[in-house]
Amino acid sequence: MTIGRSLSHDINYRAHLLETIFDLYRDEQTNKIYIPRFFKELVDAGIRKDDPRLGEMIKQVREAEHVDQGVFDQEHLFLDKEAFSKCVGSSIGVIGKALKKQLVIPDWPTFTSVMTELYEGCRGYTQGQ
């Protein structure tokens, strides 16, 4: 496979992934994505709110919607397909992996629940050894 074909395949894959994600999370009445819900899905999949891989996307959302901070908590933050595509841009790879549960820890909620349970069970032990 030549480099040109490989790049073309990558661009097509990213476009398809973006289209699929938008269709999965868009509101059918407004044809827009409710960004706090979308970000909640990412957090539930194991992506932290301060994950540097999402930094550019969060910056783009802030600029597109004129939001100073707290894009995870805005109540009325919707993006249409064009704005969503522009904002997601280079983050689509990690977003796709997170939503497909292809991160290192695929079931983040279960993992955090088990870790919390272990921590709470051991918290009373202060002697060491």
Q: E strand or H helix at 78, and its extent?
A: strand 78-79
The residue range of the domain holding 46 is 2-104
Is the residue at 83 inside a domain? yes
CATH code for the domain in which residue 70 is found: 1.10.238.210
Is the residue at 111 inside a domain? no
Number of domains making up the chain: 1
Is the residue at 82 inside a domain? yes
Is the residue at 95 inside a domain? yes
For residue range 102-117, list pLDDT tens digits in order.
877 767 778 888 889 9
For residue range 33-68, list pLDDT tens digits in order.
988 888 889 888 888 888 888 888 888 888 877 665
Is the residue at 29 inside a domain? yes
Q: How many CB atoms lie within 10 A of CB 62?
A: 17
pLDDT of amino acid 48: 83
pTM above 0.85, yes or no: no
Provide the pLDDT confidence category of residue 74 given band limits of 50, 70 and 90: low
If you average pLDDT over residues 8-31, what whole number do you get?
Answer: 85
Burial of 32 (0-12, 13-18, 19+ CB in 10 A): middle
pLDDT of amino acid 7: 46
Is the residue at 74 inside a domain? yes
Is the residue at 125 inside a domain? no
